[in-house]
């Protein structure tokens, strides 16, 4: 039977591995979250470090979780667990009280928790972490230090390579609303009867040099001795928000083409570049050439950006350029540039800039889109997580075998 100290080890190890894994799947998302924190705490000077800090965070969580789960270097790993909780539990309490960011991002985009839910989660996890820490010297030693350090080094290398793969391409699992197979118009629908936002309006009036706050129900509408000064509106209860609520395609002239493009029964290719000046210009040039070739074949080609498009005019004066909100762009694609193929509002495929296929391959993908637009994100996530757990178990067995062999010798 599993005793409390081992149960605590399994739970703490699994939570840390899962937390590090989902952040490692989407390193750009982790970077954006760090930038949100830096903005909230007015330390934007640290923005250039956001990606590196994101990698360090998710790799550290994963390695500590792996060490705890396998039982290697338990004393050091237990200290790592405790320090994490000592640092993040007070932080999440502050987030819950002050709400500088809406979502702490502890599980990336895989699981969204409110700030209070995150704090309560940390309190519960801290109980298991404390049990592990108190019993850190009582866990059986699996092997001699060299063998355990080799295992940790190998897993660290695997996690870092995994993170870099997701950074250089696209996340192997897309946790966001714009995953492959999604019909964008359907995700924008607000169901009939869904709760709406509730606001509280305060009216400020002045009389005899004294200002007073009123509500819409009791303000002095018939008393001419009061003079209106100002009004304030505060959101007191958020209503239903559809998964996709801010997808708008606007031309440089201000025309909204969202409905026109999403209802087009043909095929369309989007090139997305948040900031064109920061993108690889060779990739931009190649993508525009491919896009214009596709356009000659009857496929719509649009460039979506949230920055000034002047640089694109040098490539071709006839480009279809559309403006999209920067936050929306970051949510759609984790690459600059990135590409998205759609038909009748349904996302067929997405690519990072360096993975952009040629015209012939694109046409083939469009033709076979009915059988290729399924999203297998959950299956991939479960498979990756199961592989890590299996690897942890195998590592545990190998180190135990080595320990026995050394004793026999």
Q: 230: which strand partners?
A: 204
Higher pLDDT, 147 or 240: 240
The answer to whether 346 and 373 have CB atoms below 8 angstroms apart is: yes
Cα 35 to the chain's mean position, in Å? 12
Give me the pLDDT at residue 374, please.
Answer: 55
pLDDT attached to residue 364: 81
In 3D, which of 66, 72, 73, 117 has the Cα closest to residue 96? Answer: 117
pLDDT category at 45 given cuts 50, 70, 90 is: very high
CA distances from 308 to 83, 279, 313, 391 (A): 44, 13, 11, 48
Query: Can you tell me the mean pLDDT for 156-179?
Result: 91
* Calpha distance 391→393 (Å, rounded): 5
Whole-number pLDDT of residue 371: 44
Q: What is the pLDDT of residues 65-121, one digit of tens each?
A: 989 988 888 889 999 999 999 999 999 999 999 888 878 888 888 888 889 999 999
What are the tokens at 160? 């870092």
Structural domains present in the chain? 4-170+381-408 (no CATH), 198-237 (no CATH), 258-372 (3.40.30.10)
List phi, psi (to 5°) of 37.
Answer: -65, -45
* Token digits of residue 212: 């007073």
Return the pLDDT at 94. Answer: 92
Lowest mean pLDDT: which of 197-211, 241-255, 359-373? 359-373
Q: pTM score, two decimals?
A: 0.81
Q: Please, what is the average pLDDT of the chain?
A: 86
Q: What is the largest CA-CA distance in the chain?
A: 100
Q: Would you place residue 377 in the very low, low, confident or very high pLDDT band (cuts 50, 70, 90)?
A: low
Q: By percentage, how much of the chain surpasses pLDDT 70? A: 87
Instruction: Select the more confidently predicted residue: 308 or 159.
Output: 159
> Is residue 382 predicted with pLDDT exceeding 90?
no
pLDDT confidence of residue 105: 85
Q: Alpha carbon of 348 to those of 11, 116, 330: distances in Å?
A: 38, 37, 18
For residues 25-33, average pLDDT = 92
Is there a contact between 35 and 326 (Cβ–Cβ < 8 Å)?
A: no
Q: Does the pLDDT value for residue 144 go beyond 80?
A: no
Provide the pLDDT for residue 407: 52
Looking at residue 217, its pLDDT comes to 85
């Amino acid at each position: 039977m599993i005793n409390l100290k081992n149960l605590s080890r399994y739970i703490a190890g699994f939570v840390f591995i899962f937390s590090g894994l989902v952040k490692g799947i989407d390193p750009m998302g982790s970077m954006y979250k760090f930038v949100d924190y830096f903005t909230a705490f007015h330390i934007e000077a640290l923005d250039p470090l956001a990606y590196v800090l994101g990698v360090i965070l998710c790799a550290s969580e994963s390695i500590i979780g792996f060490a705890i789960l396998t039982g290697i270097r338990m004393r050091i790993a237990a200290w790592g667990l405790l320090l994490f909780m000592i640092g993040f539990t007070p932080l999440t309490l502050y987030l819950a009280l002050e709400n500088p960011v809406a979502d702490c991002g502890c599980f990336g985009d895989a699981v969204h928790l409110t700030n209070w839910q995150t704090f309560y989660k940390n309190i519960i996890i801290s109980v298991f972490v404390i049990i592990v820490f108190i019993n850190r010297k009582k866990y059986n030693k699996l092997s001699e230090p060299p063998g355990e350090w080799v295992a940790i080094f190998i897993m660290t290398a695997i996690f870092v390579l995994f993170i870099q793969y997701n950074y250089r391409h696209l996340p192997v699992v897309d946790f966001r609303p714009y995953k492959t197979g999604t019909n964008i118009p359907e995700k924008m629908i607000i169901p009939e009867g869904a709760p709406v936002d509730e606001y509280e309006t305060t009216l400020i009036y002045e009389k005899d040099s004294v200002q007073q706050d009123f509500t819409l129900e009791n303000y002095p509408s018939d008393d001419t001795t009061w003079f209106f000064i100002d009004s304030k509106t505060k959101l007191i209860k958020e209503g239903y928000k559809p998964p996709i609520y801010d997808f708008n395609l606007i031309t440089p002239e201000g025309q909204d083409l969202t409905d026109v493009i999403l209802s087009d029964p043909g095929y369309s290719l989007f090139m997305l570049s948040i900031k064109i000046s920061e993108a690889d210009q060779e990739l931009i040039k190649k993508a525009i050439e491919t896009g214009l070739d596709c356009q000659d074949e009857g496929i719509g080609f649009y460039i979506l950006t949230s920055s000034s498009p002047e640089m694109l005019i040098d490539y071709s004066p006839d480009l279809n350029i559309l403006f999209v909100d920067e936050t929306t762009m970051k949510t759609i694609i984790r690459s600059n540039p990135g590409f998205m193929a759609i038909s009748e509002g349904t996302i067929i495929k997405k690519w990072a800039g360096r993975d952009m296929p040629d015209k012939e391959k694109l046409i083939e993908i469009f033709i076979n889109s009915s059988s290729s637009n399924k999203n297998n994100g959950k299956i991939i996530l479960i498979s990756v997580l199961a592989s890590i757990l299996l690897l942890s178990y195998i590592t545990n067995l190998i180190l135990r075998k080595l320990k026995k062999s050394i004793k026999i010798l």
